Amino acid sequence: MLEVIPFSTTMRAITQSFGGKMADSKEKKTEPSQVQLSSNEPLHAENKRKKIARIPPAVIKRLSLYARVLLDLEMSNVLTISSKDLAQRLGITSAQVRKDLAYFGQFGIPGVGYDVSDLRANLKRILGTDREVQAILIGVGNLGAALMAYGGFLRHGVRIVKAFDADTSKVGMQRGGVLIYHIDELERQLEHQPIDIAILTVPSEAAQPVTDRLVKAGIIGILNFVPTRLTVPPDVHVHYVDLAIEIESLCYYLR
């Protein structure tokens, strides 16, 4: 399943300043089918169940934004929030908020609103960030090294546990406490430790060959920073972060 994710939405781990308005995405008009997710299930099992439920991707993106707002409220000791107030903070409608949450069950009390801590805990469970997600990074160039050094991933439940590069001079070094292995060690290291997500920051010509190896090794989640489209099986999820496209889009509004 291929999906282009806006940089401001996907990489909240790089900067926390992208919490502004998010326009409603066009979605197929269907009645939300609730899906109950057990916190004891493996992350991959939850991903498969989400796919079966056919929840619109835009809904999943907005859940992350809701969770971010709720975290800010929780840190400010706010106990409850209405769907109207939550919607206003994100520039959407209260009906959209209620519809999004209805995919996953019943939340809140009519006339009272949502318990901030309880709703945030439920959203973390739904998103799979109530557990530590294991990630690897491939390509320790300037961007890759910056991502390794940034500690914000862990605050959102994602830990980069290993990195890989073809440059032998980098092998054995650490960035942000993460050990760098040679790319030839990829399959062997993946055998020793289950990995949920692979982050690609490799040269364009290496992106597809590396992806093929990841897929063969059983990786089903890829965050691709490389400006090239990847060919993957239907059950592999690829999210794209294209910085050049984001800059070009911004330039349009500066004319």
C-alpha distances in Å from residue 212, one per residue of 18, 64, 186, 208: 32, 29, 12, 6
Question: Which residues does 126 contact at the CB level (< 8 Å), separation at least 6?
Answer: 37, 63, 104
What's the full length of the chain, in residues?
255
- What is the distance between the terminal CA atoms of the chain, rounded to a whole angstrom? 35
Q: Please state the residue numbers annotated as binding site.
A: 139-144
- Binding-site positions for NAD(+): 139-144
Burial class (CB in 10 A: 0-12, 13-18, 19+), 176: middle
Q: Name the DSSP letter for residue 83.
A: H
Listed as own residue / partner, the contacts of 211-214 with beta carbons closer than 8 Å and 24 or more positions apart are 213/186, 213/187, 214/138, 214/186
Q: Name residue 34's amino acid.
A: Q
